Chains A and B, each alone.
Chain A
Amino acid sequence: MSAGSQGAAGLVVEGLTAGYGREDIIRDLTFGPFLEGEVTMLVGPNAAGKSTLLRALAGLVRATGSVRLDGAELTGLAPAKRARHASFMPQDLPGRVDLTALESVLSALMVTPDRSDDASVIRERALAALERLGIAGHALEPLGRLSGGQRQLVGLAQVLAREPRLILLDEPTSALDLRYQVIVMRLLRALAAEGRIVVGVLHDLTLAARWSDRIVLLDDGAIVASGPPDQTFTVERLRAVYGVESRVERCSEGTLQVLVDDAGELG
């Protein structure tokens, strides 16, 4: 892909420290390479620093260290340039703004006018993205009149339409029903298969185990474990990190299930 043959392909992160104001939230993280075709999910308790890590990869928070994509350093790139390589979907749903779904996706494409494509081509791309998420039928409805889940799908369409190499999704299924959770996870697999690198955050560990190649378990700004789902999710780790009593089992079909029996006491 882009130049710089030194270093591995894919996403490689070294010594990444990031935070807000003077406070560091994630400290000295090193991981990778995450390769194209791979889906990686960050999991961990609330306030572990998952969103902060995604923001740091997208270049939206104060950060030091190295974030390389296909050998090219992303740190220090101007926002418009960086957003061309990596697109981030925030955890918050798109607001109830008086924009149609289509307009909102168009604006995601048009803010960094890197392509000389004419208006109709860009419109096609935006519509295709909505189509892929099954909400093309709502393209002309204002965001303010869509349901929470529909707005989350629009948020996904905004990222999809930008066709980035690195896709960063903060809790992409948090507002979705059973069926759409699977539809979106399947879509992430398809996007990876098309040659993208997908990194996301999920709270549903069973969903994460079923659809990801790699799990990164974060706690208090540090990586506790990282690897294939069945090696990362252990009863002991989940107890240590989340403070829950759980079972990690395989169902009759052989897929991994994380079942929580007890959440302990607060405080």
Chain B
Amino acid sequence: MATAAVLAFALDLVTGPSDLPVWDVVRGLFDGSALPAAQSFIVRDVRLPGALTAVLVGAALSLAGAEMQTILNNPLASPFTLGVSAAATLGAALAIALGVSIPGIGEAWLVSANAFLFAVGSVFLLQALARLRGRGPETLVLFGIALVFAFNALVGLIQFLSSQQALQQLVFWSLGSLGGANWTSVLLLSLAVALTFPFSYAARWRMTALSMGDERARSFGVAVGRLRFASLIRVSLLAAVAVAFAGTIGFVGLVGPHLARLIVGEDHRFLLPASALSGALVLSLASTASKTVVPGAIVPLGIVTALIGVPAFLALIVGRRERL
């Protein structure tokens, strides 16, 4: 799977609207002076950060999705199940439509920063709500769904009130795009992944135990409530950063972990890294396709991800050894 992810990354790198020959891309990467300045810029400051962002966003969302499916004990869960993306969209909408800003953050980062803050805020809100009642997965899901509806309603209200131009920008943002990728986004995404993965991986055994059910995990001595909370923080950090830089690319967080699970099973020693890889793979392929399916145009990434992911997913489900 690692090999496939690297190949997809390479493929992503060599495709783009400017039709550079493959060889030029390779030369441009390794030797800054090999190409004319404009082409060199395309390779080094557009293609490379774009492709890296695809890998990182894919890995982040898929890793977050794997954790979410485990802590909610629900194969339909994704990083966005509990309102993280809805909250991020609300944050972005506020920034785009109303120019609501956070002091000290430049214009360029406004949308991302706002999306991020709202996403993280939603997790704390969720925890506060869940603490009022028991903390089982069902309670979390119910509160999460309530939050999703609340945020969506607020986004709708903003859309209703905002100008034509802001509306279009918002729709484009929410369809997902790597168009805004640059070295800063790559850096921040890498930081988020580098910061969370070690903690995810350290919890791998507890997560595996949790996949066998709350009571069993607790009987082994797992502090299930704390494990869920810590995991939710990681999920929201990953999802928030990914959404902030690439919009709401929902499907990868659902399908990435399933691809991984079909191959390595539920043991989180393998599931967590495999999910990150499969997410990177899916999104790299999607990014490549988004640049190639309609000649001369870039189709929004969120759409392509679903279009690519669904058939791959179905093929795997049909092809797997029979269970159940």
Hey, which bits of chain A sit against chain B, CB under 8 A? 58, 60, 78-84, 87-90, 92, 94-100, 103-104, 106-108, 110-113, 142, 144-145, 155, 158, 162
B131 at the interface (CB under 8 A from A): no
Instruction: Give the nearest-CB partner of A162 in chain B.
Output: B220
Contacts of A155 in B (CB 8 A): 216
Question: Known interface pairs A107-B205, A110-B205, A145-B323. Does A84 touch B221 (Cβ–Cβ under 8 Å)?
Answer: yes
Which of these binds chain A: B154-162, B163-171, B192-200, B206-214? B206-214
Question: Known interface pairs A111-B206, A111-B217, A144-B323. Does A99 touch B212 (Cβ–Cβ under 8 Å)?
Answer: yes
Contacts of A94 in B (CB 8 A): 212-213, 216
* Contact in complex: A97, B222 (CB < 8 Å): no
* Contact in complex: B220, A103 (CB < 8 Å): no
Question: Known interface pairs A92-B215, A95-B213, A96-B324. Does A79 touch B222 (Cβ–Cβ under 8 Å)?
Answer: yes
Contacts of A87 in B (CB 8 A): 219-220
Instruction: Give the nearest-CB partner of B261 in chain A.
Output: A98
- Which bracket fits the contact residues of B? 20 to 34
Question: Known interface pairs A98-B261, A107-B208. Does A112 touch B220 (Cβ–Cβ under 8 Å)?
Answer: yes
Q: How far is the CA of A103 from the CA of B218 in the complex (A)?
A: 17
Instruction: Give the nearest-CB partner of A159 in chain B.
Output: B219
Instruction: Give the nearest-CB partner of B73 in chain A.
Output: A95
Interface 1/0 per residue, B240-264 and A, CB below 8 Å: 0000000000000000000001000
Q: How far is the CA of A215 from the CA of B324 in the complex (A)?
A: 39
Q: How far is the CA of A8 from the CA of B39 in the complex (A)?
A: 82
24 A-B contacts, Cβ less than 8 Å apart? A79-B223, A82-B221, A84-B221, A87-B220, A90-B215, A90-B216, A90-B219, A92-B213, A94-B216, A95-B212, A95-B213, A97-B211, A98-B261, A99-B208, A99-B211, A99-B266, A100-B265, A103-B265, A107-B208, A107-B209, A111-B209, A111-B217, A113-B205, A144-B324
Question: Known interface pairs A78-B223, A79-B218, A92-B215. Does A98 touch B265 (Cβ–Cβ under 8 Å)?
Answer: yes
Contacts of A89 in B (CB 8 A): 219
Q: How far is the CA of A80 from the CA of B205 in the complex (A)?
A: 13
Question: Known interface pairs A107-B205, A111-B209, A144-B323. Does A99 touch B267 (Cβ–Cβ under 8 Å)?
Answer: yes
* Contact in complex: A83, B219 (CB < 8 Å): yes
* Contact in complex: A80, B223 (CB < 8 Å): yes
* Contact in complex: B266, A108 (CB < 8 Å): no
Question: Known interface pairs A60-B218, A89-B219, A144-B323. Does A111 touch B261 (Cβ–Cβ under 8 Å)?
Answer: no
Contacts of B216 in A (CB 8 A): 90, 92, 94, 155, 158
Instruction: Give the nearest-CB partner of A107 in chain B.
Output: B208
* Contact in complex: A103, B267 (CB < 8 Å): yes
Question: Known interface pairs A96-B324, A97-B266, A99-B266. Does A88 touch B219 (Cβ–Cβ under 8 Å)?
Answer: yes
Given A90-B216, A97-B211, 12 new contacts (CB under 8 A)? A60-B215, A78-B223, A92-B215, A92-B216, A95-B213, A98-B261, A99-B208, A99-B211, A103-B265, A107-B205, A145-B323, A158-B220
Q: How far is the CA of A92 from the CA of B219 in the complex (A)?
A: 12
Contacts of B324 in A (CB 8 A): 96, 144
Contacts of B206 in A (CB 8 A): 111
Contacts of A111 in B (CB 8 A): 205-206, 209, 217, 220-222
Interface 1/0 per residue, B219-244 and A, CB below 8 Å: 11111000000000000000000000
* Contact in complex: B215, A108 (CB < 8 Å): no
User: Nearest Cβ distance between residue B206 and chain A, in whole angstroms?
Assistant: 5
Contacts of A60 in B (CB 8 A): 215, 218-219
